[in-house]
Structure 1
Amino acid sequence: MGGSSGRRATNGWVFWEEGNQWVYLLGGGQPMGALPISDQVATTLSKVKTELSAPLLSSFFSLLSPLLFLLAPLLSPLLYAPLSSLLFSFLPSILCQQERRREYEANLQKAGLELETEDKSVRFLKTYFVKIHAPWEVLATYADVLKIKVPFKENDIPDIPMDWLFTPFRLPDHIMNPEPDYFTSPFNKGKIDFFLIDDKETFFPPSVRNRIVYYILARCPYHKTDREDKKGIKRLLNNGTYGSAFPLHDVRSYCPTSERFNLYTHWAQFFSFFKEQPLNLIRKYYGEKIGIYFAWLGFYTEMLFFAAVVGLICFLYGLFTFDDNVWSKEICSEEIGGNIIMCPLCDKKCGYWKLNSTCNSSWQSHMFDNVGTVFFAIFMGIWVTLFLEFWKRRQARLEYEWDLVDFEEEQQQLQLRPEYETKCTSRRLNRVTQVPEERVPPTDSCPLSTLPLPQISLIIACIIGVIAYRLAVYAAFASIMKDSPTNNIHMVGSLITPQLATSVTASCINFVIIMILNLMYERVAIWITDMEIPKTHLEYENKLTVKMFLFQFVNYYSSCFYVAFFKGKFVGHPGDYIYMFGWSKLRNEECDPGGCLIELTTQLVIVMSGKQVWGNVQEALVPWVMNRWGSRKARSHPESRYSRWEQDHDLQNFGHLGLFYEYLEMVIQFGFITLFVASFPLAPLLALLNNIIEVRVDAWKFTTQFRRPVASKAHSIGAWQEILNGVAVLSVVTNAFIVAFTSDMIPRLVYMYAYSNDLSMKGYINNSLSVFNISGFSKDNRPEDGESPEWFNSSVITTCRYRDYRYPSGHEKEYSHTMQFWHILAAKLAFIIIMEHVAFMVKFFVAWMIPDVPSEVKARIKRERYLIQEYLHNYEVFSPQKTFNMHTITHLFISPVLALRPLI
């Protein structure tokens, strides 16, 4: 891929400096071809450069020794020994790292790569770079080995024209489709004229060059012996021989006529939020793995639009049927709610209160607890199925368009992890290769089941702590507010009740705890996965994905599960209350007469919204601040001295788990909008607004704040697909239980059709409240003197009401459940069974009706395979170059220097 006039390369990592193009750097930090060498002792050793030879370093230390000896009388004895020991301890490691670099770079050159050490006069004596260029011969050889698919014929099956449908949202065609559509076949160096090669300089796209160079770096030895544990750039990064290794961005993000500029202009700008994403350009620049993430994120956001519209309609239905809410009118009525005296909600510090004091919360509850809630819960069960099924179709289309149909995990994903190889102390015969291979003894890997118990215990302890807070603080709020929120604390406002104040503050505290625990759970999940010693990078990522999601599932959703399924369910009744753990003084919480659904809504809004806002701020602000701080000194120098590779090195490293955290964030959000959506129909709308920002924030980070990541292939979203399927199934169950047990929908319907005289909701409130004789309160439950309101007269008021279905005092079944309670329970269980069966039948029917692979994609795949066979046959029969040099190819596969043996 050479060129004239000093033009060295036009490869995947294009880096311009004085007219030259380079692919990779070795040293302080560059795209995959560049390994930045971090000179960690430069300051201590008076900026001695690590490129110095071993004899020169030895001479330096030999001169330093007598100098220290002469200065010894002037130095404190406490400083002399540590200083001399510190200086001389660096010598062996420096010499060892230098030898590794020399051997490694020599083997890279033997593999065909071209290296050039940066001119040190332009550096600030901190980091040194080795620039790497991959010529055509190297690219062609490794494309053959990796079986990279390249074009051999233009695609002659036309797409269905739909541009007229999306004209306002489309980008220019040269941005959306930077390359023509071709039929492709695995590259074969021996049949080079079989493929459509117009220009060798641009035949392999940047992402392919990126992968090829990293493949060489990952397998090249750095030791004179051909030991498996002495190969690869990752080990050199781990032991500090190099500081970083990454591909170069092609140009600055603000330089026109470049792919990075097009991505920044048409993709990363927020005002392009209504435009579709240039997925083909993303794939070309960053590789398929990152491309598939943005394809999934974009499709998920598009599907959220339909859920958000239906959710908004259901919310507006609750808002517009405000005046038809008979039970809320009864609660707010002075004749009904004003004359119903309710029992204290906590021991001693809570007084008696009138039912109409919860008037506002009952109206608020109706906006989310109505018939539309049931409809929306069923709709979301269907929506999540459509989303997952149509994503499979979109994914199948991308697999074909991006040449991933016959995808096999890449060598770099299946390559053994260095951490695994260092633990291998025994050997076992491989059944496939019949070659003995090293393995980790079973006793060295810690089983999963024994590791997370302390962490799960900590999660449960935090949940219990938040519940205990809710129980303890409620009494304090109730004591301050008395029966009316405006009596003593006017600054709070008339809409705040003790229940709402407790719910809001507990949700905020719970959110803070969640954010703190997130920092710990990440380290715990990584530690557990490391203890299991996964064999390959792919296995490591899949194991970490499952563990991290389980931790976050409990962390984020536990408080919502408590409010939805436990609060108000196990409270006992006046005179026989149930306490936390049975022995504590913390009485279990009760729900408002209107139910606990409004509290679940509050919890969901605070945790979900807080996480999304905090996540976007953190994602946008942290990389920008760190980049500004890291490059503060370099930016003070003239632009001519602040080279492209230095600018890329000062960007943040994306890391091999970068996409993992992006997926995790979205999957947690997916759980919020599916598991508890029956309590908050506006959740999909919040998620939609967040994702519109999320797409552009992620795009901005990739194009301006992160180094260019190593391009890698992926045909799907991996383990996240199964997690989404599991959440989708669980969401049907949780929403059915929310409608049945958290909302008051079923008790209202049972009353209206079985107990109402005129099939109306009149009298429902009085029917749903049981009666308790005040004289039955024990000393521990009775309100203290001064806690009850002024209007309360114990000589006149002898009973109070509470939310339950129990027989009154004096009845032969005193305070036991009435028959209506069992009718309602049976109706709730019947509703759960019916809703689940209907939802699952619709789910499986829709999944069966929608093929995973579109018919036109199947046709294209069949035609491509047919053309490959036909063209190869014609090539073998009619091509003058029918001889195939198998000796050369075999040599490439067994060469100890290039180490091209495929891994099994």
Structure 2
Amino acid sequence: MSRHRRQASIELLELMGVVKENGHHFDSPETSPLLPSVRTPLSYDYVLVAKTVDDPEKDTFKMQEAFIEKLKMKNLKITKIIDDTVVFYGIQAPNEVFEKYRYLLKVSDACNWSEQQGNVPLSTRIRIVHFILSHVFLNTGENLFELLKKKVFEAKFCLHERKTQKELRKSWARWTACFRGQPINDVRNYFGEKVALYYLWLGWYTLLLLPASLLGVVVFLYALAFYNTSPLIKEVCESNTIMCPLCDKRCKVWLLSDTCLYAKVSILFDNEGTVMFAMFMAVWTTLFLEFWKRHRASYTCEWKVFDWCEEEEELILEIVNNAECAPKEHKHSYLRSTLVLILVTLILLLIIGLAHALVVFRVVATVMLAEGSWEFLSDHSNTAAVILGAVLHYFTITIMTRVNRIVSLKLCDIEENQSFAASERSFTVKMFTFQFFTLFSSLFYVAFFLGRINGHPGGYVRIAGKWRLEECHPSGCLTDLFIQMAIIMVLKQTISNVFEFGGPWFNRWLKRRRTKKLQRKCPHCYKKEDQQTNRWQELCEICKLSDWLRNYRLNDVNSFSLFNEFLEMVLQFSFTTIFVAAFPLAPLLALINNIIEIRLDAIKMVSLERRMVPKKTNDIGVWTDVLEAIGVLAVIANGLVIGISSDFIPRLVYRYNYGPCANGTVTDMDCMAGYINNSLSTVYMNDQRIYNEFSPDQMVTPSGQNVSYCSYKDYRSNEDYSLTPQFWLILAVRFAFVILFEHVVVICKFVTAWFVPSVPLDVKNQRLFDKLSRLKEELSSSEV
């Protein structure tokens, strides 16, 4: 269409009243269906909200007006609508902004062919306008973020599209769609690639949890089927062995048979099948990551963002916002890096210190419960202390999450990163590191130190010379780790989901109660959109205000909204893989949680929260590196759990070196018969070194019998309490197993990663054809 003909069409539309010249542009020629356009039919790209101000002389009002004037200087069209208590500013960007963006995108290395064809997607429009708003500064140097902190503006948001929102709610964001596939392409078109890739990754993670969950259940059922006939359980349940007190003063000797129930539970998670399951999960982690890369590549190729570059995207947006902008140079300061490193180390030491505080709490709680008046808690003080410690650990995690976020942001400010993308990567690494230590420092203590540094009768290790350091659970050290993991995982997932969904729902309900309800339909202007011609009519101010209020009532979103979802899922992935040898049912719990999580997050984003600003990306970013690091750590941790924490190695050594089958002649006995008694050592009260350790009141059995000896779990001589040769043999086999396990699994991981290409062949071929087509098109246009 020629320039003169287009101008004539504009004049005709002005006479028809489609284009209004009263200062508030409810529509423009570019959006008219009578003219070719790169705009999609929509009302406003962005909305700012401020409180109404009675006094025009107030600084708040002056800053509002100054910021709006700055927007108008960038040729942004502003529509102002005043409600009773708030004022809305509807913002529309001129068509030239998007044309400039498309041209720069075309000539850049991060070319996106799809956005050069047809209309500019609505997600792209919102992203560009959001960038412009974030980079408009007042003369005082304040931007929109700082104005929001000062309450100059109450909120900023992009509008939900009623039609698309309804379609997503019907096909995706509802509980009845739990076992249906996700409309990833629709999510991408509405929320952008970054949100779409999160749900794509979460869906893929949930899908691959199915075989892991199934095998975990099989391992559990295997142990459940044979634990009644296990000679180990039989030996514990029928034992008359008298065990030494687990604490000072009120703790008395107890019978090994009292732990019959705990022994049955322990054997469900500490058996031969657990070793194979831990090896499987290490390889599963690699398969999950490699196949995820292929899965992601297929979608990013389809979306034409495979070669997209985040830094170049920021440069393009900078130029679109200000053609005279100067590049932000890369900088590095050894002083700042050293300061950040020191501060990170101090924070990690503080977190580890909290783990030590939990240890002290459990020790003190064990003594207090044992000396309490409640007989049940007194008899099970050790177990009760472990449970209380796990609950306290959960609350510590909740508090430290907020502290870690504040500290991570401050550290990123000190670094002064070159771009938002660099800042986001730096923040992600720091926040995850702090959260990981917060969650796992206590678990690492329970897995690898509990019961191994507490000493022995006559030489107990005490805190401040008063409280005995806690021992492992009577049924084994792995039981403590299982209790810790089960409580933290269940509490974290259940309570987090309740607050994650209940909080936004309650806030929306509260805002609706406080906000005046306007009529939703205006008889003289409300018309439905024509589905065939895609034409629409601008609503009057009453209907427009009603729509803006509806979005304003929704819960706010920010740059942390999606990060929080990723962090929650990656930490769950850590729980599922790192200590899976102690809790084979962890993948099953994660699977159930994720099925709920997908729909919960979808309902929250579509119905309960304001529309998230669509962000473009072609990967989940630094989270991929985090997941790979977790995969390596999972191999090391599971090898150590099986080799050091569990009784798998001591049982193996006993079977082939000390048990009835050691010489190969016994055929009528189980090879593990006598293992429990073999793993115990005995102390006698007539020994002067032990005489002062336990009081006479403690050496009384539950039946009232006085005894002069008791047993404890260790490999020590009954004469001088020195470590026996069996202990050193078991220790050598433990380390040999850990080294062998880790080398075998790591080799399997590398072979798997090599065997599975990161990019499918059809994606490589599709990219090749796309590049060839673009080059031919460029050649044809240059010849013309």
After TM superposition, list the pairs within 5 Å mapping 1:160-179 onto structure 2.
none
Q: Which amino acid aligns with 2:49?
A: P
Residue in 2 that maps onto 1:16: none
Contact 1:264 1:703 in 2 (8 A): yes
C-alpha change, 1:775 and 1:457, in structure 2 (3 Å) is same
From 608, 617, 620, the counterpart of 1:714: 617
From 743, 764, 777, the counterpart of 2:675: 764
From 289, 302, 306, the counterpart of 2:211: 306
Q: How far, CA to CA, are the matches of 1:713 and 1:414 in structure 2?
A: 14
Residue in 2 that maps onto 1:474: 366
Name the TM-score, length of structure 1 as normaliser: 0.74
Q: Deviations over 1:419-465 (max 9, x none)?
A: xxxxxxxxxxxxxx998969798778882123245533432332222
Counterpart check, 1:8 vs 2:21: no
Partner SS state of residue 131, structure 1: strand
Pairwise CA distance, 1:535: 3.1
Pairwise CA distance, 1:572: 1.7
Pairwise CA distance, 1:236: 5.2
C-alpha change, 1:871 and 1:521, in structure 2 (3 Å) is closer
Contact 1:331 1:355 in 2 (8 A): yes
Bigger CA drift: 622-631 or 264-273? 622-631
Q: Which amino acid aligns with 1:208?
A: T
Residue in 1 that maps onto 2:161: 250
Q: How far, CA to CA, are the matches of 1:271 and 1:560 in structure 2?
A: 37
Pairwise CA distance, 1:300: 0.8
Counterpart check, 1:625 vs 2:506: yes
Q: How far, CA to CA, are the matches of 2:730 and 2:332 in structure 1?
A: 58
From 585, 604, 613, the counterpart of 2:466: 585
C-alpha change, 1:789 and 1:267, in structure 2 (3 Å) is same
Residue in 2 that maps onto 1:74: none
Residue in 2 that maps onto 1:71: none
Pairwise CA distance, 1:388: 0.6
Partner SS state of residue 535, structure 1: coil
Contact 1:100 1:241 in 2 (8 A): no
Contact 2:699 2:708 in 1 (8 A): no
C-alpha change, 1:513 and 1:437, in structure 2 (3 Å) is closer
Contact 1:549 1:664 in 2 (8 A): yes
From 276, 288, 297, the counterpart of 1:396: 297
Q: Which amino acid aligns with 2:714?
A: D
Pairwise CA distance, 1:798: 3.2
Contact 2:114 2:304 in 1 (8 A): no
Residue in 2 that maps onto 1:460: 352
Contact 1:24 1:246 in 2 (8 A): no
Q: Which amino acid aligns with 1:209?
A: R
Q: How far, CA to CA, are the matches of 2:574 and 2:333 in structure 1?
A: 38
Partner SS state of residue 681, structure 2: strand
Partner SS state of residue 155, structure 2: coil
Q: Deviations over 1:366-393 (max 9, x none)?
A: 1111111101110100100100111111
Contact 2:106 2:112 in 1 (8 A): no
Contact 2:684 2:690 in 1 (8 A): no
Counterpart check, 1:509 vs 2:392: yes
Residue in 2 that maps onto 1:139: 98
After TM superposition, list the pairs within 5 Å mapping 1:335-734 onto structure 2.
337-338=239-240, 340-409=241-310, 413=314, 447-479=339-371, 489=375, 497-580=380-463, 583-639=464-520, 643-734=546-637
Q: Which amino acid aligns with 2:120?
A: F
Counterpart check, 1:280 vs 2:179: no
Q: Which amino acid aligns with 2:27?
A: R
Bigger CA drift: 603-612 or 752-761? 752-761
Pairwise CA distance, 1:414: 6.1
Partner SS state of residue 36, structure 1: strand
Structure 1 or 2: more helix by fraction: 2
Residue in 2 that maps onto 1:106: 72
Contact 1:24 1:248 in 2 (8 A): no
Q: How many residues align?
A: 719
Pairwise CA distance, 1:268: 0.8
Partner SS state of residue 34, structure 1: strand
Partner SS state of residue 47, structure 2: coil
C-alpha change, 1:435 and 1:274, in structure 2 (3 Å) is closer
From 684, 697, 701, the counterpart of 1:785: 697
Contact 2:242 2:256 in 1 (8 A): yes
Counterpart check, 1:293 vs 2:198: yes
Q: How far, CA to CA, are the matches of 1:824 and 1:477 in structure 2?
A: 35
Contact 1:107 1:222 in 2 (8 A): no
C-alpha change, 1:753 and 1:643, in structure 2 (3 Å) is same
Unaligned runs of 5+ in 1: 13-19, 26-31, 49-56, 59-89, 150-182, 189-194, 198-202, 224-228, 252-257, 418-432, 482-487, 883-904
Contact 1:97 1:241 in 2 (8 A): yes
C-alpha change, 1:612 and 1:148, in structure 2 (3 Å) is farther
Contact 1:396 1:853 in 2 (8 A): yes
Name the TM-score, length of structure 2 as normaliser: 0.85
Residue in 1 that maps onto 2:235: 330
After TM superposition, list the pairs within 5 Å mapping 1:198-217 onto structure 2.
203-217=119-133
Q: Which amino acid aligns with 1:800?
A: C
Bigger CA drift: 309-318 or 230-239? 230-239
Q: How far, CA to CA, are the matches of 1:513 and 1:780 in structure 2?
A: 38
Q: Which amino acid aligns with 2:66?
A: E
After TM superposition, list the pairs within 5 Å mapping 1:20-35 onto structure 2.
23=42, 33-35=46-48
Indicate the percent of aligned positions where both proteins have the same amino acid: 35
Pairwise CA distance, 1:732: 0.5
Residue in 2 that maps onto 1:69: none
Pairwise CA distance, 1:769: 0.7
Pairwise CA distance, 1:233: 4.7
Unaligned runs of 5+ in 2: 1-5, 19-25, 32-38, 319-324, 522-541, 663-670
Give the CA RMSD over aligned residues.
3.2
Counterpart check, 1:803 vs 2:713: yes
Contact 1:342 1:352 in 2 (8 A): yes
Pairwise CA distance, 1:410: 5.3
Q: How far, CA to CA, are the matches of 1:523 and 1:327 in structure 2?
A: 51
Contact 1:736 1:836 in 2 (8 A): yes
Residue in 1 that maps onto 2:726: 820
Q: How far, CA to CA, are the matches of 1:758 and 1:316 in structure 2?
A: 27
Contact 1:11 1:205 in 2 (8 A): no
Contact 1:351 1:783 in 2 (8 A): no
C-alpha change, 1:445 and 1:825, in structure 2 (3 Å) is closer
C-alpha change, 1:240 and 1:624, in structure 2 (3 Å) is same
